[in-house]
Amino acid sequence: MKIATFKIFYFLWILCTFICLTDGARILGVFQMPSYSHYQLGDRILKELAARGHEVTLISPYKQMEQTKNFRTIVIENAFEVLERNVVDLFSMSTDNMLSTNLQFDTRFLPYTENTLNSSNVQKLIKSNEKFDIVILERLMNDAFHGFCAHFEAHCIISSPIPTSSWTNIQMGNAGPPSYVPELSSQFSSKMNFFERAYNFLGYLFYTTWFHAFMVPLHNEVMHKYFTNVPHFYDVYYNVSLMLINTHTAVHPPVPRLPNMIEIGGYHIKSPKPIPKDLKAYLDNAKEGVILFSMGSNLRSKDLPNDKRRAILNSFSKLKEKILWKWENESMSDLPGNVKLSKWLPQNDVLAHPNVKLFVTHGGLLSTLEAIYHGIPLVGIPVYGDQYSNMRIAEDYGYGISVPYEYLNEEGLTAALEQGLKNPTFSDVAKRRSKIMHDDQLKPLDKAIFWIEYILRHNGGKHLKSSSLSFNILQYLLLDVIGFISIIIAISICVCIFALKKIRRPHKKVTISKKKN
């Protein structure tokens, strides 16, 4: 009887433990950018969390086309209208330097942040009595969103769509020497010459000063406008449990990274799906090979100036390979016979086709990751942001050639295409990098989910946080110690000089006068 009772008790204990361990958390994701590539990143990770039993809410400008279990979307009104009001010619940014590009991003993105917080749907959520265990923020010049974490008293997780730079490192207390960690929009890789290191260092100093002196007060003001009972900006800004970074060692150089900064680059990539029949037939019949050309989701090929478009067409017309071009208009005049246009392309599925030999791209991070995942070399036409540094790394590693948009012409593009197609080194390196990307203990998406749930299991993972977050800038850079040692050395030198002067001071001769008798 005692044994039977014990077995029942043991069974109930195991059952309760299982239920507790698998009990879903309430998770809020904020991915506010009206850009499909950014939406794609948030949708992928949050729907996977929903599929694993968590109750997920996503704040996004995109409506859900189909119902998903454990998943709801709070739509940001007017997001695309704000985008249209703030639209700029992205191709014109190709001549901007690192500093002006970053400052433009800061000022242009602030209206998206405030529009999100001012959305009536978002306001209803803020004013509701709902509770969340975790808030996942896509951090992209929207730092006022840290108010969500404080307001809902939830653990804060950052999803960074960009590689590590001062933007990510300072927030996490992570070491990021500007000698080999390039700033965003710097156009550098980790291999910098003296002048590049000097420029990168000055950019680091300037942007860090700009952020704390000008942007922090703005974001603090916006945050408290919509979250009235949260602490000061700095108290929530540094209170981050985990940062998920969209990079991978296959396409990015190794840099310092704390244990709560996790690489998950490529997590958006899904197994290739069957492609439409007409597109499949085009790819299957391309015996000489296919070149895929796409400028991504934000840059649109149809906005290319006529001289640049003409240079591209002339280069393509010289090739025997077929060209598959993502072109957003219905048609194009003077189209060479080897070029096929499509307003939309399943890029990842096309790159998986064995007849694709080369990818002509803007050098965006998602496109770069997809290309290397499938072992396809690149010819990049970088325009702005991290596209330059992505292509600089591709050149350093040997799987790509960069033709900067500013200098794009027929001769330069033709030479790059011929080299990318005829030099087997580029394809070989891309395939080796692809093997590195596939050789992981966990798939990037599984790694992301593991660490999110790790933060849940360990109540925020405080043991992962760097103690440097408790230091001010003087303490972090050891300026107080350097100053103290300098003072001690200065005092010691002064004492030594004073002592030497005392020792070397000549003695006055004392003359004793003799009295005459």
Cβ neighbours for 4, distance < 8 A, ≥ 6 positions apart = none
pTM of the complete model: 0.87
Compute the distance between CA of residue 29 and CA of residue 72 in angstroms, rounded to an integer. Answer: 10
Compute the distance between CA of residue 199 and CA of residue 182 in angstroms, rounded to an integer. Answer: 10
Residue that is written with structure tokens 């796409």 in the block: 294
**pLDDT value for 285:** 94
Q: What percent of the chain has pLDDT over 70?
A: 93
What is the 3-class SS of 115-164, one letter each residue? HHHHCHHHHHHHHCCCCCCEEEEECCCCHHHHHHHHHCCCEEEEEECCCC
Q: What is the mean pLDDT of residues 338-349?
A: 93
Compute the distance between CA of residue 245 and CA of residue 514 in angstroms, rounded to an integer. Answer: 95
pLDDT bucket at 19, cuts 50 / 70 / 90: very low
Task: Judge whether 25-89+109-176+228-267+443-470 and 277-438 match in fold.
Answer: yes
The encoded tokens of residue 285 equal 């019949």
Do 348 and 333 contact (CB within 8 A), yes or no?
Answer: no
**pLDDT value for 506:** 61
For the chain, give the number of residues. Answer: 517
Residues 267-280: tens digit of each pLDDT: 999 999 999 999 99
User: Using alpha carbons only, how large is the chain's radius of gyration in Å?
Assistant: 29
- How is domain 277-438 classified at the architecture level of CATH? 3-Layer(aba) Sandwich (3.40)
Compute the distance between CA of residue 76 and CA of residue 117 in angstroms, rounded to an integer. Answer: 9
Residues 163-188: tens digit of each pLDDT: 888 889 989 999 889 999 998 888 88
The encoded tokens of residue 171 equal 């927030």
Strand partners, 358: 291
Compute the distance between CA of residue 228 and CA of residue 231 in angstroms, rounded to an integer. Answer: 9
Return the minimum-mean-pLDDT range out of 71-80, 94-103, 237-246: 94-103
pLDDT bucket at 1, cuts 50 / 70 / 90: very low
**pLDDT value for 113:** 92
Compute the distance between CA of residue 110 and CA of residue 61 in angstroms, rounded to an integer. Answer: 16
Compute the distance between CA of residue 390 and CA of residue 296 in angstroms, rounded to an integer. Answer: 14
* Residue, of 88 and 393, whose pLDDT is higher: 393
Q: What is the mean pLDDT of residues 445-468?
A: 95
Angle (deg, nearest 10), helices 194-210 and 98-118: 30
**Integer CA distances (angstroms), 44 to 40, 51, 163, 446, in order:** 6, 11, 19, 11
What is the 3-class SS of 49-67, one letter each residue? HHHCCCEEEEEECCCCCCC
pLDDT for residue 517 is more than 50 = no
Compute the distance between CA of residue 229 and CA of residue 150 in angstroms, rounded to an integer. Answer: 9
The rounded mean pLDDT for the chain is 89
Nearest to 158 by CA among 247, 261, 32, 251: 261
Classified by CATH at the fold level, domain 25-89+109-176+228-267+443-470 comes out as Rossmann fold (3.40.50)
Do 248 and 263 contact (CB within 8 A), yes or no?
Answer: yes
Residue type, 12: L
Where are the chain's structural domains? 25-89+109-176+228-267+443-470, 277-438, 475-502
Nearest to 237 by CA among 127, 320, 307, 156: 156
Do 176 and 166 contact (CB within 8 A), yes or no?
Answer: yes
Residues 414-440: tens digit of each pLDDT: 999 999 999 999 999 999 999 999 999
Q: What percent of the chain has pLDDT over 90?
A: 70
What is the 3-class SS of 473-515, one letter each residue? HHHHCCHHHHHHHHHHHHHHHHHHHHHHHHHHCCCCCCCCCCC
**pLDDT value for 13:** 46
pLDDT bucket at 473, cuts 50 / 70 / 90: confident
Residues 123-154: tens digit of each pLDDT: 999 999 899 999 999 988 899 999 999 999 99
